[in-house]
Amino acid sequence: MLFNTLLGLNIVCIGLYFYVVISQKNKNYYLSILIRLMTLGLFGLVIFDRYETQNHLIVLLLLWVGFESMEQFYTRKNPVQ
């Protein structure tokens, strides 16, 4: 139950981050740090065998890859001056 709630909150935060990047054309560093910390916490729950289903791990990995690829796309599109 806790894992599903945190995973849902992580999905909402990633969606909000994508919206901010696309609509406002700038990064929200606090939200980016929050997403990374939540992802690390969820990985910790998976690693310590609190939740051992492979579906949770697959969804978490896909979210992480999607978030990091969006970060790289933004930095490639808008280089630091």
pLDDT per residue as tens, the chain (81 positions): 777 888 888 889 888 888 888 887 777 788 888 888 988 888 888 877 766 677 888 888 898 998 888 878 777 776 654
Give the whole-angstrom CA distance, residue 58 versus residue 33.
22
Please state whether the predicted TM-score (pTM) of the whole model is above 0.85.
no
Query: What is the structure's pLDDT at 81?
Result: 47
Nearest to 60 by CA among 47, 42, 33: 42
Nearest to 74 by CA among 18, 13, 12, 15: 18
28 DSSP assignment: -
Give the whole-angstrom CA distance, residue 54 versus residue 17.
26
Query: What is the structure's pLDDT at 30?
Result: 85
Give the list of residues 6+ apart from residue 4 with CB closer than 8 angstroms, or none: none
Give the whole-angstrom CA distance, residue 19 versus residue 63.
15
